[in-house]
């Protein structure tokens, strides 16, 4: 297999960690970027985008492995998510297949794809999986479905954990929800194990930190209370209030350059009751076992 690994999303939170880890392990990484080009940070950047098929062909030329980690995690409507996540993923797979050298393709999906009906994002992640599989031809496809990912460089969960350690937990939606998390170092280790595996390991794999049954809101509060040796105040945010904030956030976002994270569509995802996650399939396929539980990450400031 060629040692060239082509990567999309290398400028992002998860893709950036994957790129660093692959470079550290001696892989020859070629990464897509909308802003950079040339040799930087130990890898070669191809300037382009998911919309630009010429740059995608350049990205994957001669690569034996393609890791597609670019994606939209924020958006104003279903169309915006679909354009990046579904159409973009299909273009990356078509380029990979047409390269004639790609043997393995890793598609970074999300646990959200388990419930396409929940949100624009989850629908787009599910549809992207189907498109990638449809366009794959003889390329072996692994689909990773990580749950909520946190760690250095993350901006979405970081505030929740920081406030938790200051003694405040904003509880969204039903009190009895089961949440799950995975540290970006563990997710990245799984990607490197998949790349390094002598056998291609096609399949769809969920990835979490291995906590059986996930975390309840109360469980999160109790972990933080143990660490800070002081109580944590739980503040429930009702669904009605959350939806009001989401509507205001969407309206405000038209004045800002960045698409919003919190929308009424996202609220359905955030307040869903079952985000438990099973590592059984990926542990069987790769022997991957996550090393970092949330308690340790919070204790050691690994977020």
Nearer to ligand NAP among residue 31 and residue 286 (C-beta):
31
User: Among all chains, which residue has been given the structure tokens 């890791």?
Assistant: 67
Which DSSP string corresponds to 131-179? HHHHH-TTSEEEEEEE-EEESTT--SSHHHHHHHHTTEEEEES-TT-BB
Closest-CA residue to 68 (of 38, 35, 97, 40): 97
Neighbours of 78 (CB within 10 A): 14
Query: In what helix (H) or strand (E) does residue 217 lie, and over which residues does it extend?
Result: helix 217-228
Nearer Cβ to ligand NAP, position 77 or 226? 77
User: Which listed residue (4, 5, 6, 9) binds ligand NAP by CB under 6 A?
Assistant: 9
Beta-strand relationship, 181-183 and 148-150 = parallel
Using left for φ > 0, alpha for ψ between -120 and 50, and beta otherwise, residue 131 falls in alpha
Q: Which of 24, 25, 34, 175 binds ligand NAP (CB under 6 A)?
A: 34
Q: Does 71 bind ligand NAP (CB under 6 A)?
A: yes
Neighbouring CB atoms inside 10 A of 189's CB total 19
Contact 21, 79 (CB under 8 A): no
DSSP state of 233: E
Q: For residue 94, what are the CA distances in angstroms to 129, 131, 200, 216?
A: 13, 10, 19, 41
CB of 36 to ligand NAP, least distance (A): 9
Helix/strand/coil for 43? strand
Part of the chain binding ligand NAP (CB under 6 A), chosen from 144-152, 168-176, 246-254, 262-270: 144-152
Q: Counting contacts by CB under 6 A, is residue 60 touching ligand NAP?
A: no
One residue of 73, 93, 164, 282 binding ligand NAP per CB under 6 A: 73
Measure the N-to-C terminal CA separation of the chain; round to a whole number of Å: 35
Residue 100 or 257 with smaller CB distance to ligand NAP: 257
Closest distance of CB 229 from ligand NAP, Å? 29
Choice from 15, 151, 208, 260 touching ligand NAP (CB under 6 A): 15
Closest-approach residue to ligand NAP (CB): 12
Nearer to ligand NAP, 54 or 231 (CB): 54
Rule CB under 6 A: is residue 75 a binding residue for ligand NAP?
Answer: no
Residue numbers 88-127 binding ligand NAP by CB under 6 A: 88, 108, 110, 125
| Shortest reach from residue 5's CB to ligand NAP, in Å | 16
Q: Is 151 in the site for ligand NAP (CB under 6 A)?
A: no
Q: How far is the CB of 145 from ligand NAP (least distance, A)?
A: 7
Which residues contribute to the site for ligand NAP (CB under 6 A)? Answer: 8-9, 11-15, 32, 34-35, 49-51, 69-73, 84, 88, 108, 110, 125, 146, 148-149
């Amino acid at each position: 297999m060629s040692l060239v690994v082509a990567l999309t999303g290398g400028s992002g939170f998860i893709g950036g960690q994957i790129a660093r880890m692959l470079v550290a392990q001696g892989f020859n990484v070629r990464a897509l970027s909308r802003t950079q080009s040339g040799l930087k940070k130990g890898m070669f950047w191809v300037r382009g985008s998911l919309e630009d098929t010429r740059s995608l062909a350049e990205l994957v030329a001669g690569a034996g492995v393609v890791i597609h980690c670019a994606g939209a995690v924020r958006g104003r409507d279903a169309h915006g998510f679909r354009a990046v996540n579904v159409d973009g993923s299909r273009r990356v797979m078509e380029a990979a297949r047409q390269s004639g050298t790609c043997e393995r393709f890793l598609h970074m999906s999300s646990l959200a794809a388990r419930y396409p009906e929940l949100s624009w994002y989850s629908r787009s992640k599910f549809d992207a999986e189907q498109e990638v599989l449809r366009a794959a031809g003889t390329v072996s496809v692994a689909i990773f479905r990580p749950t909520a990912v946190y760690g250095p460089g993350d901006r979405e969960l970081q505030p929740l954990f920081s406030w938790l350690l200051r003694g405040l937990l904003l509880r969204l939606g039903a009190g009895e929800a089961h949440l799950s998390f995975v540290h970006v170092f563990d997710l990245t280790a799984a990607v490197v194990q998949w790349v390094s595996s002598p056998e291609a390991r096609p399949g769809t794999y969920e990835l979490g930190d291995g906590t059986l049954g996930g975390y309840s809101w109360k469980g999160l509060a109790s972990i933080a209370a143990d660490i800070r040796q002081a109580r944590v105040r739980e503040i429930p945010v009702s669904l009605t209030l959350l939806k009001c904030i989401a509507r205001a956030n969407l309206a405000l976002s038209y004045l800002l350059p960045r698409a919003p994270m919190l929308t009424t569509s996202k609220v359905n995802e955030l307040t869903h009751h079952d985000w438990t996650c099973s590592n059984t399939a990926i542990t069987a396929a790769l022997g991957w076992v996550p090393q970092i539980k949330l308690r340790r990450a919070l204790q050691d400031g690994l977020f």
